[in-house]
Amino acid sequence: MNAAGVGSPARRETADVRDERQLAWAYLSRVVLGPCPALTALIDSVGVREAARAVRERALPPVLRAATERRRELDTAARDLEMIRDSGGRLITPDDAEWPAWRMLGLAQLTPGRDPDGAVPLVFWVRGGRDLSELTERAVAVVGARCSTGYGDRAAAAMAGDLAVRGWTVISGAAFGIDSTAHRAALAVGGATVAVLACGADRPYPAQHDRLIARIAETGLVVSEYPPGTVARKHHFLVRNRLIAALADGVLVVEAGLRSGARNTVKWARRIGRPALAVPGSVESAASAGCHRMIREGEATLVTGPEDVLAEIAPLHLPLTAGSTGADRLGDTESRVLTALPAVGGRWPHDIAAATGIAVAEVRVALVALDLAGMAGRREVGWYRLSRAVEQDR
């Protein structure tokens, strides 16, 4: 299997094997504590159980030995899984149907040597009952200054609230300021929201947002690539930002000072092909200086309201892969999904699954394959077939 997991539906395995694989994922997640492209490559090559065995036995190339040495003897996998369950959560791995493989495509294509922190996460430790793929099917990241102003809070609330009402999931980092305003605005309208943490999902940070994070878990998801109990370190926040960008269709920065972490999230967004958007403000406000600089330097597109945001993010921006192929390679599932797509308007995966009898997870994988083949696209109302595909289908 490959790290992004595209086109590799979960294997049908015995419960024992599944448990064993889950323990292996949990173990490796604890050992590397964050992105580790060399380990991802090893798992791609030999499978997760074999990779875990190699790490335990130190049967590794030097680069991986260094990365795993410190905690390889610390096998707390069973306890970690229990801890996440105790906090009302679970571990999501590439073995699971809800693994958001298509969301990870951009990260999977980064060059590990140049972006060591940009690797596809091994796993997601989550709190909350929602399906991660479904929840991030249409999603916008709303991030910004911790020291936001009244203006920024109003803009963040108005835009996140409006997008949530329209069915877009609001993704953010649960920080003070713009982040929490965006989460709260989505919750206030009964919309969906996802918090991506730089610490364990069971360990609310900042502590003052304990209650907010619990509310997010009730109706949305609290997500982390770090095992339960992990304390957030400075570097974790920068690495976490790539997941905020990857899980969303675009990154909206509402306010940002010149040294804001939001610029880091925008950098990840650009690196993996997600539109980056910024809200302007007064030139007299330091809280807007970072937004202005990003707009001026072409790093972000100026947006003034939800309509502007949707114009940028509703069309899907999948990264082009070298192996993108045409209709000649379409499998049976892709062909049936393609037939179910309208040329006018759009249709969402659940609807397509109901119409075709194909599992929704497989529908999603098929849609990504069709998009990469240039035969399907996404607009605000759902997926549609491109005219090129219509011709080929005749």
90's tokens: 């679970």
Longest Cα–Cα distance of the chain, Å, equals: 63
Helix (H, G, I), strand (E, B), or coil: what is residue 86?
helix
- Smallest distance from a copy of itself to CB 277, Å: 10
Query: Using CA atoms, how far apart are residues 34 and 231, in angstroms rounded to an integer?
Result: 12
28's tokens: 């490796």
**Region from 76-84, 139-147, 300-308, 359-367 binding a copy of itself, contact rule CB under 8 A:** 300-308
* DSSP annotation of 96: S
- Smallest distance from a copy of itself to CB 5, Å: 37
Burial of 115 (0-12, 13-18, 19+ CB in 10 A): middle
- Sheet arrangement for strand 124-127: 89-92, 124-127, 221-224, 193-196, 169-172, 139-143, 251-253, 276-278, 301-302
- Smallest distance from a copy of itself to CB 296, Å: 5
Helix (H, G, I), strand (E, B), or coil: what is residue 325?
coil
Q: Are residues 116 and 66 in contact, defined by beta-carbon separation less than 8 angstroms?
A: no
Q: Does 288 bind a copy of itself (CB under 8 A)?
A: yes
- Smallest distance from a copy of itself to CB 268, Å: 22
Query: Using CA atoms, how far apart are residues 37 and 45, in angstroms rounded to an integer?
Result: 12
Pick the closer one to a copy of itself by CB: 42 or 300.
Answer: 300
Sign, CA torsion 222/225/226/231: negative
- Smallest distance from a copy of itself to CB 293, Å: 8
Query: Using CA atoms, how far apart are residues 255 and 287, in angstroms rounded to an integer?
Result: 6
Pick the closer one to a copy of itself by CB: 159 or 352.
Answer: 159
Q: Does 302 bind a copy of itself (CB under 8 A)?
A: yes
Q: Are residues 301 and 274 in contact, defined by beta-carbon separation less than 8 angstroms?
A: no
Pick the closer one to a copy of itself by CB: 151 or 318.
Answer: 151
Sign, CA torsion 189/351/248/374: negative
Q: Does 309 bind a copy of itself (CB under 8 A)?
A: no
By CB under 8 A, the count of residues binding a copy of itself is 20
Pick the closer one to a copy of itself by CB: 253 or 370.
Answer: 253
Q: Are residues 256 and 300 in contact, defined by beta-carbon separation less than 8 angstroms?
A: no
**Region from 77-85, 289-297, 325-333, 356-364 binding a copy of itself, contact rule CB under 8 A:** 289-297
Pick the closer one to a copy of itself by CB: 134 or 162.
Answer: 162
- Binders of a copy of itself among residues 35 to 54 (CB under 8 A) are none
310-329 footprint of a copy of itself as x/- string (CB under 8 A): --------------------
Instruction: Please name the residue that has the structure tokens 């997640």.
Output: 29
Q: Does 296 bind a copy of itself (CB under 8 A)?
A: yes
Q: Does 372 bind a copy of itself (CB under 8 A)?
A: no
- Smallest distance from a copy of itself to CB 301, Å: 7
Quickly count: other Cβ atoms within 10 Å of residue 12's Cβ. Answer: 7
Q: Note the Cα 185 to chain centre separation in Å.
A: 20
Query: Using CA atoms, how far apart are residues 284 and 297, in angstroms rounded to an integer?
Result: 19
99-138 footprint of a copy of itself as x/- string (CB under 8 A): ----------------------------------------
Q: Does 58 bind a copy of itself (CB under 8 A)?
A: no
- Binders of a copy of itself among residues 268 to 287 (CB under 8 A) are 279-284
Closest CA to 376 of 333, 352, 343, 348: 343
Helix (H, G, I), strand (E, B), or coil: what is residue 301?
strand
- Smallest distance from a copy of itself to CB 280, Å: 3
141-160 footprint of a copy of itself as x/- string (CB under 8 A): ----------x--xx-----
279's tokens: 């809200």
- Smallest distance from a copy of itself to CB 146, Å: 21
Pick the closer one to a copy of itself by CB: 110 or 278.
Answer: 278
Contacting a copy of itself (CB under 8 A), which of 50, 218, 299, 308? 308
Q: Does 180 bind a copy of itself (CB under 8 A)?
A: no
Interface with a copy of itself (CB under 8 A)? 151, 154-155, 279-284, 288-289, 292, 295-296, 301-305, 308
